[in-house]
Amino acid sequence: MNLQRIFNMGPAEWLFRGRQEACKALGLLSAAVAVPSRKPRRCTFDRRACAPQLLAAIARQENYGDHVSAALLKQGLSDHMGERFFSPVNRQLLQACARVDDRYAEQVVADADAVCRGEFDILGYGKMSFGNPVNWQLDPLSGRESASIHWSRIDPLAVDRVGDSKVVWELNRHQWLLDLGQAYQLSGDERYAQCFVALLSQWMERNPVGVGINWSSALEAAMRLITWCWALRLFRDSPSLTTDFFLTMLAWIQSHAQFVMRNLSRYFSPNTHLTVEALALFYAGTLLPELRGAARWQKLGSQILCEEIEKQVLADGVYFEQSTRYQYYTVEIYLHFLILSQRNKLPVAPAIRQGLVKMLEFLLHLRRPDGSLPQIGDADGGWLLPIVRRGPGDYQSVFSTAAAVFGDRRFAWAAGKLAVETLCLLGLTAEKKWQALRPKPPLPAPLHHFPHGGYVVMRSGWQRDDHQLIFDTGPRQAQTSSGHDHADLLSIQCSAYGENYLVDPGTYCYTADCRWRDYFRSSLAHSAVVIDDRGQAEPDGPFSWCERPQSRGHRLASAVDTYSAESDYQSQGLSHCRRVLFVGGEYWLVVDELTGTGRHSAEICFQFAPLPMQFVDDGWLCASGEHSRLFVKAFSSCSLTGNVFTGELTPARGWLSPNYGQRVAAPSLSFSARSSLPMRIVT
């Protein structure tokens, strides 16, 4: 943390950080003297929250420790948890899932079988092995294994010591338990439950509370806590989930919740880190209120979620980090919070429902004609709760669940069909709610503006073969977070005849390779303008930027749908204005104007999907889709040079990352010029 940041800290932050540092110091001391409590063996209860029959079982268990009382305690806690859970995730429900998605059962069983073989589905890398037995601290890509030391002494960004922490953490979120649990419910095959117990037992042995990289992020502990709650429901009837193991899991859940509460990301990463952590506390506090501390977890989790939706969601529904992937995360977080609250008859602030609908409406307008969602900003490839594995840009599940929750025909249209995730969250009644809906697209509008988030969406209609263009107009406001934002101001993406042509380059990686990290979030990688061979901002580490240009935008009154936005480059003494005109719903004109003094160079970049491209007559460039073609040409009074870069390495140019860890060559079209200002280029 720099000195300026320290001086700007208020009293509340000083107090919060002071408490966190004190907890770290105590943890370091405990680790040094090897305190046995680092491996919890017994959970503690809040007797005020326990039903009378549970109180008797708890008292007998504590006094005598006999098997009968422990079994009664397990049965009572499991039954009460089921009454509070989203839905009875049993064989009947999962068979219904198989009816709505004919690939569901086969996929779940195949993924569970892979886990039994020691192969785990990790981000865009596919199935990966971490050794036998599993090495929970290993990044198999680099071969680096992080040390088993107190979490506060580990820097997750230190690639030379831990490898790619994102890969390690993805394994240790334990979301593969969902594959095992669903396969167990569908088949009744006990080997899936045996694998669950064996792997979790190994993990507990190798990852004492507060020790190692898997405790170096409260977010990761929160993700694990959520998954463990689902695992308790999915394996509740298995003989492998013995009474002793059930109570041991409760003790670890209690330790996870306590760790998350002590290390909340209130000031470090007050974004989806904080809201996932709050959701995990709400999960544990609501589903297991008998545990000591649960009432506080539930209250704190609910309070944070209510506060953060107004901080993190702008007035027009755009998530403040300006990333579609993290907007999806946020929608999913709040859907879980809303559904679990309604299930347990807990009050929910009106701002939750209102904010959720606005976020969903923004995603609805971004939805491309082929049904996918475009990448904007960072996309880490992870999911809050991957009940089924979905490809990048597939947000069907969130629209499906939202349609059932809000009874909204537009969201049902966007989903296309009922999703497996909706049934798992809402139960069999979701089928009836879905059948009662008559899907209907939004009202047609050639131009839709989101002024607070800074996006304009132009479209010819809502049909599968229509045209759409997304224009990033800024502004980059002081209250927004830039950790997952890219240097893509005034960039565009477009689809023609339902096919995606101009696209966002994606993310590829966070910390594993700084060169590729910087390229994929650079101006050069987007359909934007690069001035004097400099991007809009210089990276300041993997999740921050140096000074960035400011922007402003406005709709122009004309016979065609036109939107104009401009940005100022103070250090270069010039301004860039980009106008996008949508003419008759048939084609776009993109007008770039540079004003200022002196002689400057400008490069107009267009990042295409992986499509065949060639120059044709009179300087036109043609990109060929499956069923259509897109023609592009630039005009200017100054001399223009056109080039296409595909898969260049030195320097990097012409790449696309469809998922975290994946990189494919894709053409980048460039029109460059050097001239005295003012300069105008029309594409």
Strands 499-502 and 561-569: unpaired
Q: How much is the pTM?
A: 0.93
Residue 208 neighbours by CB under 8 Å, 6+ apart: 38, 39
Rounded average pLDDT per 10-residue block, the chain, 683 residues: 55 59 60 57 89 86 77 93 95 95 96 98 94 97 95 93 95 98 97 98 96 96 98 97 96 97 89 96 98 98 97 95 93 98 96 97 97 92 90 93 96 96 96 92 91 94 96 66 82 97 95 92 95 86 76 59 78 86 93 93 96 90 96 94 94 95 96 95 97
Residues 6+ apart with CB under 8 A from 79: none
Question: β-pairing, 679-682 with 587-596?
Answer: antiparallel
Report how far residue 151's alpha carbon sits from residue 128's, in angstroms, rounded to the nearest whole number: 25
Tokens of 227: 């998954």
pLDDT on residue 382: 82
In this prediction, residue 37 carries a pLDDT of 46
Radius of gyration of the CA atoms of the chain, in A: 26
Which residue has 């005295």 as its token pair? 676
Q: What are phi and psi of 637, to 5 degrees?
A: -75, -20
Q: Yes or no: say if 209 and 255 are a contact pair by the CB < 8 Å rule.
A: yes
Q: Reduce the DSSP state of residue 438 to 3 states and report it.
A: coil
Q: What is the token pair recorded at 461?
A: 């209609």
Q: How far apart are CA 28 and CA 153, in angstroms?
A: 9
pLDDT score of 392: 87
**β strands within 38-132, DSSP E:** 119-122, 126-129
- Check if the beta carbon of residue 669 is closer than 8 Å to that of residue 608: yes
Tell me what pLDDT residue 498 has. Answer: 96
Helices 272-287, 67-84: inter-axial angle, 10-degree rounding: 120
According to the model, what pLDDT value does residue 480 have? 47
Torsion sign over Cα 182, 188, 193, 194:
negative
Which distant-in-sequence residues (6+ apart) come within 8 Å of 117 by Cβ? none
DSSP annotation of 313: B
Q: Is the peptide bond before 133 cis (omega within 30 degrees of 0)?
A: yes
pLDDT at position 572 is: 72
The one-character DSSP state at 34 is: T
| Closest by CA position to 489, among listed 571, 550, 448 | 550
pLDDT of residue 269: 78
For residue 219, which of 283, 273, 300, 157 has the smallest C-alpha distance?
273
Angular region, 81: left φ>0, alpha ψ -120 to 50, beta rest = alpha
Rounded Cα distance between 602 and 345, Å, is: 59
